[in-house]
Amino acid sequence: MKMKKMLSGLLILSLLLVSFGPLTLFASSDTPESFSSFGKGSSQFAHDEIIVKFRNDAVPFHVIKVPEGKVKEKVREYARRSDIVYAEPNYYAQAFYTPNDPLYSYQWNFGTTENAGIEMEKAWDLSTGASRIVVAIIDTGIAYENYLNYALAPDLSGTVFVEGYDYVNNDSHPNDDNSHGTHVAGTVAQRTNNSLGTTGIAFDTALMPVKVLDKKGSGTYANIANGIRYAADHGAQIINMSLGGSVPSATLEGALAYAYSKGVTIIAAAGNDGTNHVSYPAAYNDYVIAVGATRYDGTRAYYSNYGAGLDLVAPGGDINVDQNGDGVGDGILQNTFDPNTKNPKVFGYWLFQGTSMAAPHVAGVAALLMAHGNATTPDEIRTALQETARDLGNTEGWEADYGWGLVNAYAALQWQGEPNEAPTAPTIQVDLKVTAGGSRTVKKNTYVWANATVTVEGTVSATVEGHWSGASSDVDSGTTAEGIVSFDSNEVKKTKNPLIFTFEVDKITIDNTIYTPVGLTTASYTFN
């Protein structure tokens, strides 16, 4: 069924399309195999031998023994020789990781790109996520705990959860009473290789449940903005929002800008209206990676929004067709409770479709990248995902239907950006005057102090931090009014010697962004 459209200008709903009944869980007698027994990538090589190709030699190549630990040195040495075509380490390869979860064969979305999958088997050999990486699922909550009338989803047992919050009921138990958030969470980090049900993308990653949508899948922009800020303030590095509305909001945009300024990568669903307008918050392209949906055959799903602002596509499914011939509709399969009865203690494996299902594919891959270390900032992750996406459609590059293309986990994990220079803070012009602040006499002693007036150009409100040196040594901080703020130094007993008060502006903060002050940032006043 397709859920209700927007209820009012202040309400938004989860972008959910639900399939028919749950799949039967197949029994499995396989013994779980530790993932640590598999290689984590093809970069490992034999430590005492190299491969060399000699010029004008009929033999294809030679394996040459070298001293232990001298592989790279010997490769360089041989490569310099004029009789050598090439020299390289003798790399190891591993069998691609295939999880033993019995319903994995129905997860076409994790397969090869030829069938609109995201290349997970090869990607898992490079990264499975890490518990230090936290993905906030801002949604209807997650079936993450056994509490009152709620229960932990069986296939999320073993998934790492960090503390979240429920903005619908205003408590610290963001449990799911809709089924949507649990399904979304499963795609990101469903427990994997546990001989049970389905798999998740970044299954060693931690999840933060943040409930902003109610049992009907609706919630206010205020709750969503609060959820975004909560996630940013409590350690989430990635946010997934499989929700959206049709109207812009300064409140929503402000929360996104805040999270982005704190280094949070934000992913949101493009919307399920089938129109050429990306929904909000996905439409805020400065801060958010907007994700549309594809089918098994790699074409845009009929319901997926498209157009300006669309960044990527990922599998969202189409339960109306069975293009891969596996006997069920081509939805996205995960463990959650019955979306029809909404009993949060009765679980099954359900096929959903929607851009809600596509977005967590991108969030999961972002978590793999961050754990792998080849892309860690929001801009790096966006660039890595876009530059390595599988190009779809009729023209090369960005297209309205597909953005930059289908996310590819394996290719993204091999992305190497240009070496980055050390990040520098943006600058802002300031002016500073230090004058006599005043004096007072106590018995026979006179005490004096200085005053510093700081003007910050181009803004009304900024937080100014600075310090005094010389006659006085203290730290001051304050907020400008109409661009100006003043500070008094500590009082100092006046002596016959000159007293020099020096103030230096250290830092300016505007809307949670730190600026380096330039211009007149240091000034002094002398009491003779």
Annotated active-site positions, please?
Answer: 139, 180, 356
Separation in Å, CA 432 to CA 32, 336, 437, 465, 505: 67, 60, 14, 13, 8
Cβ 66 vs Cβ 45: under 8 Å: no
Q: Name the phi and psi angles at 127, rounded to 5.
A: -160, 140
Angle between helices 378-388 and 355-372 (to 10 degrees): 110
Separation in Å, CA 505 to CA 315, 470, 520, 524: 51, 15, 9, 12
3 state SS of 288: strand
- List the Cα angle 8/9/14 in 5-degree steps: 70
Note the helical H segments in 129-199: 180-189
Full DSSP string of 73-94: HHHHHHHTSTTEEEEEEEE---
What is the C-alpha separation between 180 and 13, in angstroms, rounded?
11
The conformational region for residue 289 under phi > 0 = left, psi -120 to 50 = alpha, else beta, is beta
- What the block records as the tokens of 278 is 């990306």
**Which DSSP helix (H) or strand (E) runs through 452?**
strand 445-456
Cβ 468 vs Cβ 434: under 8 Å: no
What is the C-alpha separation between 471 and 464, in angstroms, rounded?
21
What is the C-alpha separation between 358 and 304, in angstroms, rounded?
10
Strands 484-488 and 492-493: unpaired
Cβ 209 vs Cβ 240: under 8 Å: no
Prior bond to 281 cis, omega within 30?
yes
User: Which residue has 């009473």 as its token pair?
Assistant: 177
Residue among 347, 478, 469, 367 nearest 413 (CA): 367
Residue among 169, 138, 42 nearest 93 (CA): 42
What is the C-alpha separation between 218 and 92, in angstroms, rounded?
51
Cβ 363 vs Cβ 282: under 8 Å: no
Cβ 317 vs Cβ 352: under 8 Å: yes
Q: Exposed/middle/buried for 278, CB within 10 Å: 0-12, 13-18, 19+?
A: buried
Cβ 171 vs Cβ 209: under 8 Å: no
